[in-house]
């Protein structure tokens, strides 16, 4: 009878003896080699293994560890694996796990690129199916952000193993980049939005995007021109009449660049424009930001006539579907957005701005220009019908600019409200010597 807690034997095809240890239930585990050619030496080696562990490449494996490995090898199916992994997770040895042939086993970067791919993304397909606004150009930019920033950091990782700690480390990594806080947030959201969607679809067990604080936006405000400078700007000739009329329209209505690009002949009314009624996901135009159409009133016949003349000069035809701001190269796309800005800045240099000064102005600044000047004269409820803003707080953000006449208005109102509070003649006498000395 074998009194040892193991069995020593030699296989016919091996030169060294093997040993099979018993588990806690007295069952023999899979054999391991003792590395010894005699039975006596093999028994001694087995006792040393019991005491010190079974030699491995890095660390010795205790016999109970061999029992655990044997348990893992005896798993019959995925359900049994779930039981074992779930218990390890419950005990705190695992934070999460990724099982083979599950959504979480997809390579993380492959998932992100597929998520932002216009032709294959189930997320984009879902947005389009439910008539939610999403733009091909935005998806292309986010996919590029994945390649440039997420891929170098997460290469080789799986979707299901990404944790909140990983995201936190990536955000800290982005903090070292010499780009604006707003741009950093756009890059970070290329991954966060995808992960959040994956969690909502039960592709991953937990949401690693929760609890993170992104970067604050730069406090630099959009620069806006005075009406006097704007008038001077629009009196000079521009290389592209389309760019000039587009900038004029933005100044007078506060319309966004994408909304102007998307205008078609059928959107032009009598003294008004129907913004957002024409939309095509394939042509690069952009629908209204809040996904709602609106009527913008245009009380200047000269500008309205300019829009009709521009639409009628479309070399690709004069059907209701043709663009007002047409492209030189194809009937399927509108005038390129960069041209509106480039020509705006060129015009600024023609009226005396330096190139450096001109670069501080952006096309979207016209939206701030319109809102800042109109909010002084129009009820906010009515103004929002023209700008498309949904809240007063957002409207106020666009109107938060000092405009021509603000200083004088504040001074005049202060005199009206606080007249008689201060002994003005006495103060003037007291300060007169100081003023003269200055």
Give me the DSSP letters along 5-21. Answer: SEEEE--TT-SS-EEEE
Based on the domain organization, do 134 and 241 belong to the same domain? no
Based on the domain organization, do 343 and 253 belong to the same domain? yes
Does 215 reside within a domain?
no
Least confident of 136-150, 281-295, 375-389: 281-295
Based on the domain organization, do 39 and 133 belong to the same domain? no
Based on the domain organization, do 297 and 160 belong to the same domain? no
pLDDT given for residue 402 in this prediction:
63
The parent domain of residue 273 ranges over 227-398
pLDDT at 420 over 60: no
pLDDT given for residue 399 in this prediction:
64
Does 423 reside within a domain?
no
Give the residue ranges of DSSP H helices in 38-163.
39-52, 63-73, 78-90, 108-115, 122-129, 136-145, 151-154
pLDDT at 288 over 60: no
pLDDT given for residue 296 in this prediction:
87
pLDDT given for residue 114 in this prediction:
94
pLDDT at 80 over 50: yes
Label residues 97-113 b or e (16+ Cβ within 10 Å = b): bbeeeeebebebbebbb
**What values do phi and psi take at 436, rounded to 5?**
-65, -40
Instruction: Give tens-digit pLDDT for 142-168.
Output: 999 999 999 999 998 989 889 999 999
Instruction: Give tens-digit pLDDT for 260-275.
Output: 999 999 999 888 889 8
Among candidate residues 365, 381, 398, the one where a domain is terminated: 398
Least confident of 124-138, 193-207, 222-236, 381-395: 381-395
Token pair for residue 19?
A: 């040993």
The larger pLDDT score, comparing residue 63 to residue 98, is at 63
- Compute the average pLDDT of residues 388-404: 69
Are 170 and 154 in contact by the 8 Å Cβ rule? The answer is: yes
Give the range with max mean pLDDT: 33-47, 75-89, 398-412: 33-47
pLDDT at 84 over 80: no
pLDDT band at 22 (very low <50, low <70, confident <90, very high): confident
Question: CATH number for the domain including 236?
Answer: 1.10.443.10
Based on the domain organization, do 192 and 288 belong to the same domain? no
Q: How many CB atoms lie within 10 A of CB 36?
A: 20
pLDDT given for residue 378 in this prediction:
79
CA distance 163 to 18: 43
Considering the chain, what is the average pLDDT of its residues?
Answer: 81
Q: How many domains does the chain have?
A: 3
Q: How many CB atoms lie within 10 A of CB 209?
A: 20
pLDDT at 207 over 80: yes
From 266, 282, 285, select the one nearest 274 (Cα to Cα).
266
Instruction: Give tens-digit pLDDT for 94-147.
Output: 666 555 657 667 889 999 999 999 999 999 999 888 877 788 888 999 999 999
Does 219 reside within a domain?
no
Based on the domain organization, do 56 and 139 belong to the same domain? no
What 3-state DSSP class applies to 327? coil
Based on the domain organization, do 195 and 338 belong to the same domain? no
Instruction: Give tens-digit pLDDT for 359-369.
Output: 999 999 999 88
Based on the domain organization, do 241 and 111 belong to the same domain? no
Are 227 and 404 in contact by the 8 Å Cβ rule? The answer is: yes
Token pair for residue 205?
A: 């067990």
pLDDT band at 437 (very low <50, low <70, confident <90, very high): very low
Q: Which residue has the tokens 């999460």?
A: 96
pLDDT at 169 over 80: yes
Does 79 reside within a domain?
no
Based on the domain organization, do 233 and 330 belong to the same domain? yes
Query: What is the share, in percent, of the chain residues with pLDDT greater than 70?
Result: 74
Does 278 reside within a domain?
yes
Does 182 reside within a domain?
yes
Distance of CA 306 to the CA centre of its chain: 37
pLDDT given for residue 418 in this prediction:
47
Are 338 and 242 in contact by the 8 Å Cβ rule? The answer is: no
Based on the domain organization, do 367 and 257 belong to the same domain? yes
Least confident of 21-30, 116-125, 423-432: 423-432
pLDDT given for residue 334 in this prediction:
93
H/E stretch holding 217 = none
pLDDT band at 281 (very low <50, low <70, confident <90, very high): very low
pLDDT given for residue 431 in this prediction:
42
Based on the domain organization, do 236 and 354 belong to the same domain? yes
pTM of the model: 0.55
Are 322 and 316 in contact by the 8 Å Cβ rule? The answer is: yes
Based on the domain organization, do 231 and 336 belong to the same domain? yes
């Amino acid at each position: 009878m074998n009194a040892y807690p193991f069995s020593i034997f030699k296989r016919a095809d091996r030169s060294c003896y093997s040993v099979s240890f018993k588990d806690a239930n007295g069952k023999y585990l899979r054999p391991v080699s003792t590395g010894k050619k005699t039975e006596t030496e093999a028994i001694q080696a087995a006792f040393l293994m019991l005491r010190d562990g079974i030699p491995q490449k890095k660390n010795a494996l205790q016999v109970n560890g061999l029992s655990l490995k044997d348990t893992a090898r005896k798993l019959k199916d995925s359900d049994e694996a779930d039981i074992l992994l779930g218990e390890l997770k419950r005990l705190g040895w695992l934070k999460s796990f990724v099982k083979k042939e599950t959504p979480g086993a997809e390579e993380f970067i492959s998932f992100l690129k597929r998520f932002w791919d216009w032709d294959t993304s189930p997320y984009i397909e879902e947005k389009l199916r439910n008539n939610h606004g999403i733009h091909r150009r935005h998806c292309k930019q986010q996919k590029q952000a994945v390649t440039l920033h997420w891929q170098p950091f997460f290469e080789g990782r799986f979707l299901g193993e990404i944790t909140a700690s990983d995201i936190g480390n990536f955000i800290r990594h982005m903090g070292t980049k010499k780009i604006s806080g707003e741009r950093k947030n756009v890059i970070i959201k290329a991954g966060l939005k995808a992960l959040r969607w994956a969690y909502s679809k039960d592709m991953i067990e937990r949401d690693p995007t929760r609890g993170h604080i992104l970067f604050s936006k730069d406090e630099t405000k959009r620069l806006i021109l005075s009406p006097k400078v704007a008038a001077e700007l629009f009196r000079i000739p521009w290389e592209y009449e389309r760019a000039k009329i587009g900038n004029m329209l933005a100044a007078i209505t506060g319309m966004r660049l994408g909304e102007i690009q998307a205008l078609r002949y059928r959107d032009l009314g009598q003294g008004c424009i129907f913004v957002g009624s024409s939309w095509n996901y394939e042509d690069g135009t952009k629908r209204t930001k809040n996904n709602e159409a609106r009527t913008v009133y245009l009380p200047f016949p000269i500008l309205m006539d300019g829009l009709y003349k521009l639409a009628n000069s479309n070399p690709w035809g004069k059907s209701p579907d043709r663009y007002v701001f047409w492209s030189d190269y194809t009937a399927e796309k509108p005038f390129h957005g960069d041209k509106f800005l480039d020509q705006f800045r060129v015009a600024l240099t023609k009226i005396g701005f330096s190139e450096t000064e001109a670069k501080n102005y952006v096309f979207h600044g016209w939206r701030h220009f319109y809102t800042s000047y109109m909010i002084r004269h129009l009820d906010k409820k009515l103004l929002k019908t023209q700008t498309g803003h949904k809240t007063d707080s957002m409207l106020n953000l666009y109107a938060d600019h000092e405009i021509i006449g603000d200083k004088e208005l504040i001074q005049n109102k202060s005199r009206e409200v606080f007249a008689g509070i201060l002994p003005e003649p006495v103060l003037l006498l007291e300060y007169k010597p100081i003023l003269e000395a200055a």
